[in-house]
Structure 1
Amino acid sequence: MRREKVIFSCGALRLEGVLVLPDGDGRFSGVVVCHPHPLYGGSMDNNVVRAIGSALVGRSIAALMFNFRGVGSSQGSFDHGRGEQDDVRAAIDFLWGRSEVDNERLGLVGYSFGASVALPVACADRRVKAVALVSLPLMEASLAEEAATALSACTIPKLLVCGDDDFVVPLGALQRVSEQAPQPKEIRVVPGADHFWWGNEGTLAETVADFFSRYIG
């Protein structure tokens, strides 16, 4: 694999990221990976983000991991999910423009806060052909309602995955929200995994990579 530190623009801000490309020639499918909550230590160096990136590249899918505004060397400050949606669009713009990437085969994956931010972008941006939502926060009624509304209008392939011991994703709420989503959709609950996925990163990452391999690989 080839790792490249990258900088791309989001309006007046400059955001940092790492683009990981599979070995070999040709144009690869590509996935943008969105990290968890910036105010709780989330960054592109998160264990789940790194595991997913590695698994994607193992399936010959390019992975762009980046830091939201105000994280690491990315400029700006936390914007409660609003500006972060712009960050995701800017990351898609960057990946779209790379010559190594087939811009007709792009996906988006988010973990926790990253899933909340990725969901509305994926469902509105026609460049995104599949979306994976890892530990999508549903512990508050308002969050579940927002997710259900977005998913109800989301026609691209969708994966929702969480652990059965995840305090942020009540399984009842997951079931109710997922029922609002049209096909194609996949729901995966990993036994023994909690919100942080320690010790279960491999299982999660392969689940996500398999999903993208089938839909955009």
Structure 2
Amino acid sequence: MPSETIFLESCHDKTSIETRVTFNNNHDSTFPVPGVILAHPYGPLGGNMRNNVIIALHNYFSSKGFITAWCGHSKGRTSWTGMPERGDYEAVIQHLKTSFPQKLSHLIIGGYSFGSMIAASLRPQENDLSIPYSYLLISYPLNVRWALSTVRSSFFSSQVNQLLRTTENDSNNDNNNTNNNKVLVLYGDHDQFTGVRSYQNWLKYAGQHVESVIIPGADHFWFEYENTLVTKVHDWVTRTFQ
């Protein structure tokens, strides 16, 4: 499928951000498909759109015919709060909704490592609940979140907890778009930054809309486990979009 590189203005500070979008030009507009946004790991530690996990996911989703977007270089500096990066991906979401209004049936907000922290904080606007959201969180940096978002750590903590947990009010509110959508949490049992017990304690209060999968042998970086990762994502996608 063809890809195009465009430059968008971040919703945070109007910084120019490189964005690559892959889609099928010949796709029948009367037959909508899901869109996927992939947020990459932390820039100062080498995270970018050429990351092995992001590439593997991009190749998978584009092969399925999904409209797939990811961010590249930005003219701004990497923050220590995560908020500018969040604004970058808000701009990508707006672009997909504007550019493919008849083609989007669903939106998967995906992220790996730092990117999963950003992804879990993104929500539909209150006046735009027409497209359902689902979330793909890979190697969420639970135990080092404080180092990646400093003074905004509590914000990202509350956002992901809201996403994962279903309260009595949520279950009784048919208009609550957050908890009606599916979430997949994937992590390896050799993750160097967050141990298995931390993940399990964190996820024990998750709602029924959340599925968690642990990959034996995989660490935080997923080298040589990319195919296993994609297989688990494929299983979830098949169940979610049947």
TM-score normalized by structure 1? 0.86
Q: Given the alignment, which residue of 46, 53, 57 partners 2:51?
A: 46
Mapped to 2, the partners of 1:90 and 1:35 lie a distance apart of: 15
Q: Flag the 1:206–1:8 CA change in 2: closer, same or farther, 3 A.
A: farther
Which structure dedicates a bigger proportion of its chain to strand? 1
Structure 2 unaligned regions, length at least 5: 147-152, 167-177
Report the equivalent of 1:15.
17
Report the equivalent of 1:152.
165
The answer to whether the 8 A contact 1:139-1:167 is kept is no
Give the total of aligned pairs: 212
Report the equivalent of 2:173.
none
Within-5 A mapping of 1:55-134: 55-67=60-72, 72=73, 74-79=74-79, 80-99=81-100, 102-122=103-123, 126=129, 127=131, 129-134=133-138
Q: Flag the 1:85–1:174 CA change in 2: closer, same or farther, 3 A.
A: same
SS at match of 1:205: helix
Mapped to 2, the partners of 1:206 and 1:62 lie a distance apart of: 19
User: Cα distance, 1:95 vs. partner?
Assistant: 1.3
Mapped to 1, the partners of 2:91 and 2:238 lie a distance apart of: 23
The answer to whether the 8 A contact 2:35-2:105 is kept is no
Mapped to 2, the partners of 1:114 and 1:122 lie a distance apart of: 15
Q: For each residue in 1:3-52, what CA deviation from the matched residue of structure 2 results, as whole angstroms up to 9, or x when unmatched?
A: 11122121421110211124741232111000000110111111110100
Mapped to 2, the partners of 1:101 and 1:62 lie a distance apart of: 12
Report the equivalent of 1:25.
27
Deviates more, 1:197-206 or 1:94-103: 94-103
Report the equivalent of 1:135.
139
What RMSD over aligned residues (CA atoms) do the two structures have, in Å? 2.5
Mapped to 1, the partners of 2:124 and 2:190 lie a distance apart of: 28
Q: Flag the 1:115–1:141 CA change in 2: closer, same or farther, 3 A.
A: closer
User: Cα distance, 1:169 vs. partner?
Assistant: 2.5
Structure 1 unaligned regions, length at least 5: none
Instruction: Give % identity.
Output: 26
User: Cα distance, 1:128 vs. partner?
Assistant: 5.1
Deviates more, 1:30-39 or 1:14-23: 14-23
Q: Flag the 1:203–1:122 CA change in 2: closer, same or farther, 3 A.
A: farther
The answer to whether the 8 A contact 1:3-1:18 is kept is yes
User: Cα distance, 1:99 vs. partner?
Assistant: 2.7
The answer to whether the 8 A contact 1:62-1:101 is kept is no
State the one-letter code of the partner of 2:5. K
Report the equivalent of 1:165.
190
Deviates more, 1:32-41 or 1:132-141: 132-141
TM-score normalized by structure 2? 0.78
Deviates more, 1:181-190 or 1:149-158: 149-158
User: Cα distance, 1:173 vs. partner?
Assistant: 1.3
